[in-house]
Amino acid sequence: MYMSSIETTGHDKPHATFDTKPIWRTFWILLAITLLELTLATIHMKWGFPPKYVLNGMYLILTCAKAFYIIAEFMHLRHEIKNMIMTIAVPACLFIWFIIAFLWDGASYNNLRNRYDRHYADQNKIKVEQPAEKPGKPE
């Protein structure tokens, strides 16, 4: 227990009071964002508006906002010192490359197969017998 005997400045110590107001504020924000996502999804289901790709962009932004609030407030990272924030935030930036590279690769593979593999491209034109029927009903 070498490191734990080293002094830290503050909130690890029990006597520091901990305000519960920001917790509930974060809760309401998370709930509001989730409800907004559900509202958007419902509107899209009913009227087909906004278009799906616009909707997906909004979902991604809202998801990142939720992730920010959970990490910053619930996991308390926003209140740590800069060194601590950076040791988490900098490696996490790998995700930017990770997501772009692999989605790009997937899309490229799909394009190549649609262009050069006739059988693969035709598969998508075959419809299941009764698409209107409830999926998953045992035959």
Which of 110, 132, 139, 137 lies closest to 123, judged by CA? 110
- Residues 70-109: x/- map of binding to another protein (CB under 8 A)? xx--xx--xxxx-xx--xx--xx-xx--xx--xx-xxx-x
Cis preceding-peptide flag for 50 (omega within 30 of 0) = yes
138 binding another protein? (CB under 8 A): yes
47 binding another protein? (CB under 8 A): no
What is the rounded CA–CA span in Å between residue 104 and residue 92? Answer: 20
Shortest distance in whole angstroms from residue 12 CB to another protein: 5
Q: How many CB atoms neighbour CB 61 within 10 A?
A: 10
Nearer to another protein, 38 or 49 (CB): 38
Nearer to another protein, 47 or 95 (CB): 95
